[in-house]
Structure 1
Amino acid sequence: MLRLDGRVALITGLGQTTEEGWGIGAAIATKLAQQGAIIFGGNRTLIAAQRTKARIEKEGGVCNVLETDVTDSTSVESLVDACMQRYGRIDILVNNVGKSEPGCPANMSEEVWDQQVDLNLKSVYLTGHFVLPIMEKQQTGGSIVNVSSIAGLRYIGKPQVAYSATKAAIMQFTKTTAVIYAEKKVRLNTVVPGLIYTPYTRALARRYSPEGNEAEYMRMRDPQVPMRRMGDAWDVANAALFLVSDEAGYITGQNIVVDGGITSFTGRA
């Protein structure tokens, strides 16, 4: 079950910022490779992508990476073209880029707002713009997974209006596009992570917690979840794997929320 032998997976944001731990993009790329997929990745920082490539190849998988600016149409087109020139098809697309900056409309600068919209949302449009025409021409179609966040479903305790707005928009973008392409054998779904423990989370803790107290920041997050713990990158990767597999062949336009129950929870009495 859940085998992806020989399928070509184009993944953005698969870079691993440190040698320790697992980011969501790196875990998704590795999980798909473990199931037989050929990985072709684009990442803003090439050295970060090469860390993931090394991990995949160490396990015997196949991974190619390119430096890619997912907010720039020329860069995204070059990534897609390079993948097609090498493999002649794209069976899977995973959009995993994202960044959160604090602020409400009154105090967030226009520049920061535009950066958030471009990185979190425009990137999903750009990859789809170039990949969807390829998938609809393939007899086997294709599968797209966009990574959103529960910040697009509810307020999660931080004023991050641009991040929340763009993550909500990703879910509706996915639903609408899924209906348009349903007859063309192209499926689109969204994975919606909750509080996930990753190297990026640790970096946010150092940045935003009082005096950079990472441990205290993490202790604050765990009790917010009904399961009393944060998830990890593999929880998200397993959901993505299911959605791109044949076993999910009748699923399109849906959100899979991976959050330990937090969006179903109104607080402890």
Structure 2
Amino acid sequence: MADSPERGPGWTAGKRLDGKVAVVIGAGQGAGEGFGNGRAAAMRYAREGARVLAVDRNGESAAETAALIRAEGFECLSQAADVTRDADLVAVMATAKQTWGTLDVLHNNVGVSLAGGDAELTEITEEAFDNIYRINLRGTAFACKHALLIMREQRSGAIVNISSAAATGRYPYAAYKATKAAVVALTEQLALQNAPYGIRVNCVLPGLISTPMAVDTRARTWNQPREQVLAERVAKVPLGKLGTAWDVANAALFLACDDAAFVTGVSLLVDGGRMLNRS
């Protein structure tokens, strides 16, 4: 089936999030082919009945995601926010609460590596490391903080953090690996501390996924043909193909909905088996 917004692999007629409110941070995407993980997750949640607030540092890209969702007949607003600014995160949660009266799902899809100047530890600059930390870890943590203040009061909610298979496997760049591993630890801590409030916190660890960030950014950075980047990545996956943003979105949907009502604190690999050989 074609990877299209109309009837892509993420399409179902289910309503597993019917009546829920979902905030998707990182719902826009950069330049390149196909869908990014955040955009696909926002669309997937909406298709399952959620009212979605699509949030991104790039307000125009968030608005594009919202327009795609509304074109399918679902409810979605967009909002620009920079996760390195705490006031922006406060405003995002307030928008969801004030607009729809609740906040049921928080989806944190923020992350930067090569585009943020990531490198081996002996080569990375202080500025690049600090910036990647502020986005990947602190941005996720403080989004969770402000969502939890609402979820604890209502004694329910689900948080899905997007980490990375790089957190557990081989990855050459220091800041991305370290911060994404920290997201796993944060997820486990929040799951334990917030279980008494009826709040579940889980994370997804995408492997080699064909997204604009993962493929097109590398092609530009390394000055290589996109096809070459794709082929080199496919060769590393036991299933013999790259995942898509819909694969990540489907995993996130499971963790966000009541199908996973007894699941909290898990790190779900979506990697085509690659981490089985840690290569």
The TM-score, its normalising length taken from structure 1, stands at 0.94
Q: Is 2:246 the partner of 1:230?
A: no
User: Is contact 1:2–1:247 with CA below 8 Å preserved after alignment?
Assistant: no
Q: Is 2:16 the partner of 1:11?
A: no
Partner of 1:143: 158
- Please report how far the alpha carbon of residue 18 of structure 1 lies from its aligned counterpart in structure 2 after TM superposition: 4.8
Which stretches in structure 1 are left out of the alignment for 5+ residues? none
Q: Is 2:269 the partner of 1:254?
A: no
Distance in structure 1 (CA, Å) of the matches to 2:28 and 2:228: 27
What letter matches 2:263 in structure 1? I
Q: How does 1:26-65 map to 2 (within 5 A)?
A: 26-65=39-78
Distance in structure 1 (CA, Å) of the matches to 2:236 and 2:121: 26
Sequence identity of aligned pairs in percent?
37
Partner of 2:3: none
More deviation, 14-23/88-97: 14-23
What letter matches 2:268 in structure 1? I
Q: Is 2:129 the partner of 1:129?
A: no
Distance in structure 2 (CA, Å) of the matches to 1:53 and 1:99: 22
User: Is contact 2:33–2:211 with CA below 8 Å preserved after alignment?
Assistant: no
Partner of 1:265: 277
Q: Matched residue of 2:132: which SS? A: helix
Q: 1:266 to 1:3 in 2, by over 3 A?
A: closer
Q: Matched residue of 2:140: which SS? A: helix
Q: How does 1:67-146 map to 2 (within 5 A)?
A: 67-101=80-114, 102-139=118-155, 141-146=156-161
Partner of 2:8: none
Distance in structure 2 (CA, Å) of the matches to 1:266 and 1:177: 27
Partner of 1:169: 182
CA RMSD of superposed structures (Å): 1.4
What letter matches 1:250 in structure 2? F
Q: Matched residue of 2:235: which SS? A: helix
Number of aligned residue pairs: give it. 263
User: Is contact 2:207–2:274 with CA below 8 Å preserved after alignment?
Assistant: yes
User: Is contact 2:15–2:47 with CA below 8 Å preserved after alignment?
Assistant: no
Question: What per-residue deviation string (whole Å, max 9, x for no partner) do you get for residues 235-262 of structure 1?
Answer: 0000000001111000000011000000
Distance in structure 1 (CA, Å) of the matches to 2:220 and 2:34: 18
Partner of 1:194: 207
Which stretches in structure 2 are left out of the alignment for 5+ residues? 1-13
- Please report how far the alpha carbon of residue 118 of structure 1 lies from its aligned counterpart in structure 2 after TM superposition: 0.3
Distance in structure 2 (CA, Å) of the matches to 1:213 and 1:246: 42
Where in structure 1 do 4 or more consecutive aligned residues deviate above 4 Å? none
What letter matches 2:173 in structure 1? Q
Question: What per-residue deviation string (whole Å, max 9, x for no partner) do you get for residues 104-152 of structure 1?
Answer: 222111100000000000011111111101101114x000000010111
Question: What per-residue deviation string (whole Å, max 9, x for no partner) do you get for residues 203-237 of structure 1?
Answer: 2232233x322111111110100001110000000
User: Is contact 2:15–2:49 with CA below 8 Å preserved after alignment?
Assistant: no
- Please report how far the alpha carbon of residue 160 of structure 1 lies from its aligned counterpart in structure 2 after TM superposition: 1.0
Q: 1:44 to 1:131 in 2, by over 3 A?
A: same
Q: 1:221 to 1:86 in 2, by over 3 A?
A: same
- Please report how far the alpha carbon of residue 19 of structure 1 lies from its aligned counterpart in structure 2 after TM superposition: 8.4
Distance in structure 2 (CA, Å) of the matches to 1:56 and 1:192: 25
User: Is contact 1:27–1:234 with CA below 8 Å preserved after alignment?
Assistant: yes
Q: Matched residue of 2:147: which SS? A: helix
What letter matches 1:178 in structure 2? A
